[in-house]
Amino acid sequence: MFGISCTFPGWRFKNEGLWRLAHSIRRNANLYPTHGLGPVSQCLDINRGDRFDYLVSVSSPARGLAQYAAKTFGPTDPRARQTYRLGDVNVSLIQTALGKVITLYHDTNLPRPYSRIHHVQGTNGLFEKYPNRVYIEGRSPNDRWEELTAYQDFDHPLWKTEGERARGAGHGGMDYLEGYRLVLALRTGQPLDMDVYDAASISAVTPLSEQSLARRGRSIPFPDFMKGRWQTRRPLHVMEIQAT
C-alpha cells in the first residue's frame, strides 16, 4: 500500500500558475497523481509484470479555497464567491492486476505542514518518509521504528556517486537525479526510466477518478495501454546500476 499527498503552502491564487485554480473551479478529481505514482509504479513493477486494473475515488467537500479567499480578499471578492468543484481532499484507491493496493491522496487546498506521506508496506515490513523511518520484521527492535540512517548502506548507487552534486536540488536532490538520468539516456541511446506507457498509466488517474466521483465512487477500469504486454517483465535499467 502506498500513500502520497502534496501540499504547496501559499500557492493559492498567487504563487502558482492559474492552471491549477482553473482545474479546481471546474473539476473534482485526483488532479496531480504523477508525483506519487511515478515512484510507486516502479516499486510495484507496473507495466513490467503488473498493471493498474481499476480505481475508486471519493472527495471531501470543497471549502478550503473559498474560505481562504474570503479571509485574504474579503467575503465579497469574486474569488471568495466562486464555486469550486475540487474537494479539499481526494482519496483514490487503485487495485493492480496482481492484487496490490495503492492509496493516492490529493490534498493541496488545506493548510498543514508539508509532507508527501510516502508509505510502502509489504509482508516483512514497511517504510515511511516524512518522517523517515523503517520497520523490518526480524531485524528492527520489536514493534519499534528505526531511523532510515541505519540503512544507508542500501542506498541506490546513484545516491552514492551523484549525491553531492544533487545536494540542494529540488525535492531533496531527486530533481537533479531525474534530469541526470534523462540526459544520460538521451546521450547513450538507453531506454528512458519512464516511457510513454508509464506516463499514460499514471496520467489516466485524473480522468478516471473524475468518472468515479461522478458515479458516487464506482470502480472505473484502467485502459490496458500495453494490450497485455505488461505481463512481460521488461528491464528497468535504473535499478540495474551496480555500485562501483
* Segments making up each domain of the chain, as ranges: 11-122+155-218
Task: Report whether CATH 3.30.360.10 matches the domain 11-122+155-218.
Answer: yes
DSSP string, the chain: --------TTIIIIIS-HHHHHHHHH--S----HHHHHHHHHHTTBTTTB-EEEEEEEE--S-HHHHHHHHHH-TTSHHHH----S-SSEEEEEEETTS-EEEEEE--SS-------EEEEETTEEEEETTTEEEETTTSPTT--EEGGGGGGGS-HHHHHHHHHHTTSGGGGHHHHHHHHHHHHHHHTPPPSS-HHHHHHHHTHHHHHHHHHHTTS--EEPP-TTTTGGGS----GGGGPPP-
Report pTM.
0.88
- pLDDT tens-place values along the chain, 244 residues long: 444 433 333 344 555 567 888 999 999 999 999 988 988 999 999 999 999 999 999 999 999 999 999 999 999 999 999 999 999 999 999 999 999 999 999 998 898 887 878 889 999 999 998 888 999 999 999 889 999 888 888 888 898 889 889 888 887 888 899 999 999 999 999 889 999 999 999 999 999 999 999 999 999 999 999 999 999 988 888 888 875 5
